[in-house]
């Protein structure tokens, strides 16, 4: 396969960036997308040119590092991570446009690498779960309905890649934050701090500069882990319940 690549190049966060075109020949359909970029970088290095910076780590679809915006879609044309996308998903002679995530809260570090530490700060704002650190409890000591356990597990599969933010026209982080809120709010272990957690995480999300949710469902459609927007509804309920009861406590109770 021969592929034309239009790749965003940017020296650093303070520099003006732009697209640069590269020709990639002898691309195997069995290559992963990142392997194709590895080959391109090897060619650039041999020519004495600077390699293209992009994020990656596990290359197994579980870490969320491979954040590339490919032909107008986060992670590319399939609902998967970039590292699990293969070149057979493209046609011989096709032109592929590769960009970094576009969001105020995800500033470009270099080329295709963005700073996603805003997600870390949101999770840190949520704090910890109080647990009894005594002896190991019996597995069946706390009865949790399977439906609830499944919903919590589904929310916990979020890998924090940021595809939801990249897909949203408002650069909203609601899907990510709601998944992190839900995985604790659904389980009894996370209930003692549930009100304080959701208030702090939503406040931090707003402080980071993420946009609002307008329910276009683009986040759900592009999420490589299939996180449902029902988590957003749950987070909204958790948040309104928390701020309402907090207000009642502050004013001394409501009618």
Predicted pLDDT of residue 141: 73
Residue 254 has pLDDT above 60, yes or no: no
**Vertex 56 angle, CA 39 and 10, to 5°:** 75
The owner of tokens 């502050």 is 250
pLDDT (average), residues 158-179: 98
| Average pLDDT over all residues of the chain | 93
Q: pTM of the prediction?
A: 0.91
pLDDT (average), residues 132-156: 83
Residue 13 makes CB contacts below 8 A (sequence gap 6+) with 107, 108, 109, 110, 115
Predicted pLDDT of residue 99: 98
Predicted pLDDT of residue 174: 98
Q: Which two tokens stand for residue 189?
A: 């272990």
Residue 82 makes CB contacts below 8 A (sequence gap 6+) with 33, 34, 66, 67, 68, 70, 75, 76
For 186-212, what is each residue's pLDDT tens digit?
998 898 899 999 999 999 999 999 999
By C-alpha distance, which of 207, 209, 159 is closest to 180?
159
Predicted pLDDT of residue 84: 97
Residue 178 CA to residue 235 CA, distance in Å, equals 5
Q: Residue 128 — very low, low, confident or very high, per pLDDT cuts 50/70/90?
A: confident
H-helix or E-strand containing 8? strand 3-9
pLDDT (average), residues 81-94: 97
Q: Where in the chain is the domain with CATH 3.10.20.30?
A: 3-109
Q: By the 8 A CB rule, do 37 and 52 touch?
A: yes
Residue 196 CA to residue 146 CA, distance in Å, equals 26
Q: By the 8 A CB rule, do 31 and 122 touch?
A: no
Residue 248 has pLDDT above 90, yes or no: no
Predicted pLDDT of residue 189: 85
- Category of 73 on φ-ψ map: left (φ > 0), alpha (ψ -120 to 50) or beta: beta
Q: Where in the chain is the domain with CATH 1.10.1060.10?
A: 116-251
| Residue 60 DSSP one-character state | S
pLDDT (average), residues 79-98: 97
Q: Which residues does residue 98 pair with via DSSP β-bridges, in sequence order?
A: 7, 70
Residue 253 has pLDDT above 60, yes or no: no
Alpha helices in the chain (DSSP H): 33-46, 117-126, 146-156, 163-167, 174-185, 194-208, 218-222, 230-251
SS3 call for 98 = strand
**The domain 3-109 belongs to what CATH superfamily?**
Beta-grasp domain (3.10.20.30)
Phi and psi (nearest 5°) for 117?
-65, -15
**CATH placement of domain 116-251:** 1.10.1060.10
Q: By the 8 A CB rule, do 170 and 212 touch?
A: yes
């Amino acid at each position: 396969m021969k592929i034309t690549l239009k790749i965003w190049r940017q020296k650093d966060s303070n520099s003006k960036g732009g697209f640069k075109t590269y020709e990639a020949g002898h691309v195997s359909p069995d290559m992963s997308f990142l392997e194709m970029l590895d080959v391109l970088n090897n060619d650039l290095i041999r020519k004495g040119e600077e390699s293209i910076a992009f994020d990656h780590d596990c290359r197994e679809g579980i870490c969320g590092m491979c954040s590339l915006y490919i032909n107008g879609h986060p992670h590319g044309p399939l609902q998967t991570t970039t590292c699990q996308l293969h070149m057979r998903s493209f046609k011989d002679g096709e032109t592929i446009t590769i960009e970094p995530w576009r969001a105020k809260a995800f500033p470009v570090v270099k080329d295709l690498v963005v700073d996603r530490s805003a997600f870390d700060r949101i999770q840190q704002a949520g704090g910890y779960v109080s647990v009894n650190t005594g002896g190991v409890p019996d597995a069946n000591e706390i009865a949790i309905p399977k439906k609830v356990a499944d919903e919590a597990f589904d929310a916990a599969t979020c890998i924090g890649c940021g595809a939801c933010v990249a897909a949203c026209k408002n650069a909203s982080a609601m899907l990510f934050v709601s998944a992190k809120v839900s995985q604790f709010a659904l389980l009894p272990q996370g209930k003692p701090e549930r009100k304080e957690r959701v208030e702090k995480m939503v406040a931090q999300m707003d402080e980071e500069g993420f946009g609002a949710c307008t329910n276009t469902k683009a986040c759900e459609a592009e999420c490589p882990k299939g996180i449902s927007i029902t988590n957003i509804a749950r987070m909204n309920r958790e948040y309104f319940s928390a701020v309402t009861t907090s207000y009642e406590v502050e004013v001394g109770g409501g009618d």
